[in-house]
């Protein structure tokens, strides 16, 4: 009991320290960027969108950023340069010239200016009127975070496999002691109940990869003071891709009974079959949409809540509000630690459920 008490106390102290460092980082960042504009109201919207959207560099504090490579394919071929060439400009004022072509950064999207254009011009909606989008293969912070999570996954699983290989009695050691219960949980509580004991093994590699890939990326995005953190799971393109992979595997795994049950349900009157067939067919596409929105919305909402609470300190400029916001942020952050794992579990479980429905035999 005493050990549990001190463990909880240490966790809370670490949490408060973590949030205070995060708050200080945000304050330094905001203060340096505003300079002499101290009298201007704090822009919460700018802060939130700055941290949850993708960008071409990792902003650490003030004018210090870690640049990332910009890789473009234009009519004249491949163009590469570092994002630091834009000097933190996202308004399209700084022009980078390569191979006789001019590029600008407009709200973290790279545009190529039309031939002869000396600067970017905008319409009333602030859309560039004299620039087009080249094919962009840049390593943005979301892409970098994805590669980082893949490296972590490889390191974890290779280390786990190596520990089993070295073990004479096939007992886990080191990191394998942590990994084995999770892997067995995915197998015994997710794959077998939803897919079936005879067919689950074929889908285990995908389900394990899916779970750890989402979970690790969620954890990385939870650490705002980590220099290379990003909101990858809060990017709808990322969640769409994962849901689309699940959808494709479901289609290629489907049996005859799956389509029969969907398009012409057995055991029902013909008028009811005609009524339910389009609904069931639409449901086939609604499932991946539900997967996409659930992960995207939950992760993004968590980031927005934490950043909004931190912003209260700078909006009211009051110590009591600051202390209160830190307490609430610690509370929300503890919940977020659970949410990032739960969302990975739900995505994996629903994917296994869809596979099981597609593999169901007629009975």
Q: Are 350 and 363 in contact (CB under 8 A)?
A: no
Q: How far apart are the first and last CA of the chain?
A: 53
Tell me the per-residue pLDDT of 184-215, one tens digit each, with 9 for 90 and over: 999 999 999 999 888 899 999 999 999 999 99
Is residue 1 predicted with pLDDT exceeding 50? no
Which of these, 37, 226, 203, 259, lies nearest to 144 by C-alpha position?
A: 226
pLDDT surpasses 70 at 14: no
Instruction: Give the span between the Cα atoms of 157 and 31, in whole angstroms.
Output: 43
Structure confidence at residue 186 (pLDDT): 94
Are 87 and 63 spatial neighbours (Cβ–Cβ below 8 Å)?
no
Q: Is the pLDDT of residue 78 over 80?
A: yes
For residues 285-295, average pLDDT: 91
219-276 pLDDT tens trace? 888 765 456 678 888 889 999 999 999 999 988 887 777 777 777 777 777 787 787 7
Residue of 53 and 237 predicted with greater confidence: 237
Residue 101 token pair? 């072509």
Query: Percent of the chain having pLDDT more than 70?
Result: 85
- Tell me the CA distances in angstroms from 362 to 257, 261, 344, one per residue in order: 6, 9, 31
With contact defined as beta carbons under 8 Å apart, do 101 and 112 qualify? yes
Mean pLDDT computed over every residue of the chain: 80
pTM above 0.95, yes or no: no
């Amino acid at each position: 009991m005493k050990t549990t008490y001190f463990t909880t106390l240490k966790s809370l102290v670490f949490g408060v320290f973590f949030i205070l460092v995060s708050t200080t980082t945000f304050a330094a960042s905001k203060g340096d960027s505003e300079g002499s504009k101290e009298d201007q109201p704090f822009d919460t919207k700018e802060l939130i969108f700055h941290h949850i959207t993708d960008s071409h560099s990792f902003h650490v504090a003030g004018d210090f950023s870690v640049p990332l490579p910009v890789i473009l394919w234009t009519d004249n071929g491949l163009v590469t340069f570092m994002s630091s060439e834009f000097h933190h400009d996202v308004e399209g004022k700084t022009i980078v010239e390569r191979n006789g072509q001019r590029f600008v950064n407009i709200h973290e999207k790279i545009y190529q200016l039309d031939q002869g254009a000396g600067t970017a011009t905008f319409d009333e909606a602030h859309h560039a009127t004299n620039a087009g989008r080249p094919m962009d293969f840049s390593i943005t912070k979301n892409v970098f975070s994805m590669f980082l999570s893949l490296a972590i996954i490889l390191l974890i699983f290779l280390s786990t496999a190596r520990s089993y290989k070295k073990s004479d009695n096939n007992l886990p050691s080191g990191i394998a002691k942590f990994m084995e219960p999770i892997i067995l949980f995915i197998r015994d509580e997710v794959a077998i109940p939803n897919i079936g004991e005879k067919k689950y093994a074929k889908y285990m590699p995908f389900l394990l990869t899916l779970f750890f890939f989402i979970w690790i990326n969620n954890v990385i995005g939870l650490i705002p003071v980590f220099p290379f953190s990003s909101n990858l799971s809060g990017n709808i393109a990322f969640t769409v891709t994962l849901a689309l992979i699940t959808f494709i595997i479901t289609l290629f795994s489907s049996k005859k009974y799956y389509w029969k049950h969907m398009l012409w349900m057995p055991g029902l009157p013909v008028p009811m079959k005609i009524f339910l067939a389009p609904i069931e067919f639409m449901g086939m596409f609604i499932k991946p949409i539900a997967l996409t929105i659930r992960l995207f919305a939950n992760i993004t909402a968590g980031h927005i809540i934490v950043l909004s609470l931190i912003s209260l300190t700078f909006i009211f400029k009051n110590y009591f509000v600051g202390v209160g916001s830190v307490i609430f942020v610690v509370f929300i952050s503890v919940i977020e630690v659970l949410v990032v794992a739960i969302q990975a579990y739900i995505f994996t479980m629903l994917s296994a459920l869809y596979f099981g429905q597609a593999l169901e035999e007629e009975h």
